Amino acid sequence: MVKQYRKAKRQGENLMEMLVAEIEVDLNSLQELHNFVKDFKDRKITLKEFVRGPNYVNIDDMEDMINEMFVVVNI
């Protein structure tokens, strides 16, 4: 990670700002997913709608994000 930071700094990029922005996007996606599940719990959507999944979350992107979180935890 230090190598990445130094490389980004040499290229005039702020790695910390980039990481924070990426995490904010991930956090917003998780919040939307949380709200979707909460809507099901509160009976605002049907089981059929729940099984179909949220239409605003790309399942592949969500799986990638969750896998990335576990990789960071294991380091």
Q: What is the pLDDT of residues 3-12, one digit of tens each?
A: 887 888 888 8
Tell me the HSE value of 12 on the side-chain side, using a 13 A CA sphere: 0
Residue-range domain boundaries for the chain: 2-74
pTM of the model: 0.58
Using an 8 Å Cβ cutoff, are 56 and 34 in contact? no
**Cα–Cα distance between 36 and 26 in angstroms, integer?**
15
Mean pLDDT within 20-40: 91
| Whether the predicted pLDDT of 30 surpasses 70 | yes
Our CA angle for 61, 22, 57, nearest 5°, is 30
- Between the alpha carbon of residue 34 and those of residues 14, 16, 27, 44, the distances in Å are 30, 26, 10, 13
